[in-house]
Amino acid sequence: MKPCEPPTPSPTADFPARLIAWQKTHGRHDLPWQHGEPYGVWVSEIMLQQTQVQTVIGYYGRFMARFPTLAALADAEEAAVMEVWSGLGYYARARNLHRAAREVMTRFGGRFPSAVEDIESLPGIGRSTAAAIASFCFGAQEPILDGNVKRVFARVFGIDGFPGIRAVELRMWALASELMPACDGAIYTQALMDLGATVCTRSRPRCDACPVGTACVARASGRQRELPAPRPAKVRPQRLRFALLLLSRGQILLERRPGHGIWGGLLSLPELAAQTPSDAVIEAARWLATRGLMAGEPETMTPVIHGFTHFELHLVPLRLRIPAPAPIAGETALQWLPLTDAHDAALPAPVRRLLGRTDIE
């Protein structure tokens, strides 16, 4: 490995040098995936996409206990992976993680690839995530640009515009490449992540503790709240969905969703092809009749509201009671599950909240 030499004093060289020195003393060094094998680092990086560290730590421990090796993950059924991931959200991450594990087994002989290009070719891994894995595990000197880094760059260097806009993002990538030091890449990369997560936070940044605070444009101009610029305001459309809440002797009927799309591979309530409450009642009767099920009149319950990035879901449950939880011939996606066990199943977040309500039974 190339020995480190003191950087030539300049605005860009001073920034990484300050961060590297700060990280050695003030950065995070005890996260469960640090200093581990590429498999564990990769799992953590995928979990950390759009999810905070404190939330990830518990899920990471359970996931690694269930799938301790890459081969174990590749051999697992998708349903088992989704069950362990349940509650962490953004379920496409889990499906891609599973697919990628199988690709590593077939394309790379079971060894996690070391080249950035090969890492990025795996499902669910973008440029920044690939660079982080390569840096932490294989000593690569590759720039990253996750949400924390974008916030740091926007404030320290006074970059206007929403970072999700292509032109702004390209400017930040150019800056990330320019700032990347010739050595100590893993320490610098961790420093950037730690600075954004613990000091240069979204709200109430700790500017007095910042190693580059004296050179920060946002701090000097009092623009910490303005930078980075927020996503342009956009009214999220509402989508109304009706679903069956079928109960029988302490059990609930759940349906395994297809492996693609929102909530792919999770267990959920059977949904109805209806646009209005009256249509939903008619569709519920038709759904039951085609499966040979008998039930009383459906009760329309209070909707569960769940926000997605691009729309707001209003899920309206229709509760029906079935005399006995008999198997349904030809419907392999449907299964009866005790309500007491359903809370631990791989459920979408709004369905989990619904089953936790006191008015279910």
Task: Return the closest-CA partner of residue 36 out of 163, 177, 133, 168.
Answer: 133
Distance in angstroms (rounded) separating the CA atoms of residues 144 and 191: 11
On whether residue 233 sits in a domain, the answer given is no
Can you give the pLDDT at residue 328?
A: 83
Instruction: Say which CATH number the domain at 325 has.
Output: 3.90.79.10
> Do 161 and 26 reside in the same domain of the chain?
yes
Crossing angle of the two packed helices 147-156 and 166-179, in degrees rounded to 10: 80
Name the domain count of the chain.
2
Q: Which residues contact 217 (CB under 8 A, 6 or more apart)?
A: 155, 156, 157, 158, 223
Q: Which of 45, 83, 142, 283 is catalytic?
A: 45
Mean pLDDT score, 117-123: 97
> Do 41 and 123 reside in the same domain of the chain?
yes
Distance in angstroms (rounded) separating the CA atoms of residues 174 and 215: 19
> What confidence tier does 13 reach under pLDDT thresholds 50, 70, 90?
low
Q: Which residues contact 168 (CB under 8 A, 6 or more apart)?
A: 159, 160, 161, 162
> What confidence tier does 1 reach under pLDDT thresholds 50, 70, 90?
very low
Structural domain ending residue among the three candidates 191, 221, 251: 221
Instruction: Say which CATH number the domain at 80 has.
Output: 1.10.340.30
On whether residue 2 sits in a domain, the answer given is no
Q: What is the pLDDT of residues 245-290, one digit of tens each?
A: 999 999 999 999 988 888 889 999 999 999 999 999 999 999 999 9
Among the residue ranges 62-76, 95-109, 315-329, the one predicted with the least confidence is: 315-329
> Do 178 and 277 reside in the same domain of the chain?
no
pTM of the model: 0.78
Which residue range is the domain that position 37 belongs to?
Answer: 11-221
> Do 170 and 100 reside in the same domain of the chain?
yes
> Do 59 and 206 reside in the same domain of the chain?
yes
Q: Which residues contact 91 (CB under 8 A, 6 or more apart)?
A: 82, 85, 262, 263, 264, 265, 266, 348
> Do 195 and 336 reside in the same domain of the chain?
no
On whether residue 168 sits in a domain, the answer given is yes
Q: What is the pLDDT of residues 48-99, one digit of tens each?
A: 998 999 999 999 999 999 999 999 999 999 999 999 999 998 999 999 999 9
> Do 161 and 254 reside in the same domain of the chain?
no
Distance in angstroms (rounded) separating the CA atoms of residues 239 and 261: 16
45 is catalytic: yes
Q: Mean of the per-residue pLDDT values for the chain?
A: 92
On whether residue 1 sits in a domain, the answer given is no
On whether residue 226 sits in a domain, the answer given is no
On whether residue 361 sits in a domain, the answer given is no
Determine the number of helices (DSSP H) and then strands (DSSP E) in the chain. Answer: 15, 8
> Do 196 and 271 reside in the same domain of the chain?
no
